[in-house]
């Protein structure tokens, strides 16, 4: 996994808490991750607000920071006023925020778990996943233990875990 980290000399210019800046500078985020996410925290539009990027005049998005994007090119953001939760902005649905995780480190763990689940249960001949109901329940339980909010109805992970379940063999 290729990780993207912010440069230490850039840290002072980003108004985020020390723990988030340390995470982004020491651990970083994967440049690409399932399900169809990309992160680039060193070049534009990294750390720009979606309000500024899309010229929305939406004050509720003006203090958010872009850190990546979904496959639909929807920006993935940190929301400082929401306890530094992670959301993506659904640009096809009136720029509505969609919850992903309650923190950046929980997002990283959930992405890792999702990747490992696919890796573990993917067939060798095709992209179909083969797993039991018990495997599925255990997987969901892990998500809920890491971030109880991650599977709330309408969230990013709720959609993608349901997609895995429906598409399984």
Co-location of 110 and 162 in the same domain? yes
Specify the number of domains making up the chain: 2
* Domain stop point among 103, 121, 155: 103
- Single pTM value for the model: 0.92
Alpha carbons 33 and 164: distance in angstroms, whole number: 15
CA distances from 138 to 48, 132, 134 (A): 37, 10, 6
Q: How far is CA 31 from CA 45, 76, 91, 124, in A?
A: 14, 13, 22, 25
Q: Which of 82, 103, 124 is the last residue of a domain?
A: 103
Last residue of a domain, one of 103, 130, 156: 103
Predicted local distance difference test score (pLDDT) of residue 89: 97
Residue 67 has pLDDT above 90, yes or no: yes
Q: Across the chain, where does the E strand assignment appear?
A: 3-4, 29-30, 32-33, 37-39, 65-69, 75-79, 85-90, 96-101
Give 96-117 pLDDT, tens digit per residue.
999 999 999 999 999 999 999 9
Q: Do residues 115 and 87 both lie within one domain?
A: no
What domain range includes position 124? 106-167
18-50 pLDDT, tens digit per residue, is 999 999 999 999 999 999 999 988 876 788 999
């Amino acid at each position: 996994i290729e990780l993207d980290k912010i440069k230490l000399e850039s840290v002072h210019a980003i108004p985020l808490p020390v723990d988030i800046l340390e995470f982004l500078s020491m651990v970083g985020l994967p440049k690409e991750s399932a399900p169809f996410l990309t992160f680039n925290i060193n070049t534009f539009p990294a750390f720009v607000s979606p309000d500024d990027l899309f010229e929305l005049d939406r004050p509720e998005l003006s203090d958010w920071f872009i850190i990546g994007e979904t496959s639909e090119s929807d920006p993935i953001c940190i929301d400082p006023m929401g306890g530094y939760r992670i959301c993506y902005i659904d640009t096809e649905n009136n720029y509505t925020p969609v919850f992903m995780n309650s923190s950046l480190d929980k997002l990283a763990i959930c992405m890792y778990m999702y990747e490992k689940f696919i890796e573990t249960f993917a067939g060798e001949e095709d992209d179909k996943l083969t797993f039991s109901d018990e495997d599925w329940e255990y997987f969901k339980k892990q998500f809920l233990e890491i971030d109880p909010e991650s599977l709330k109805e309408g969230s990013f992970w709720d959609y993608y875990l349901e997609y895995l379940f429906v598409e399984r063999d």
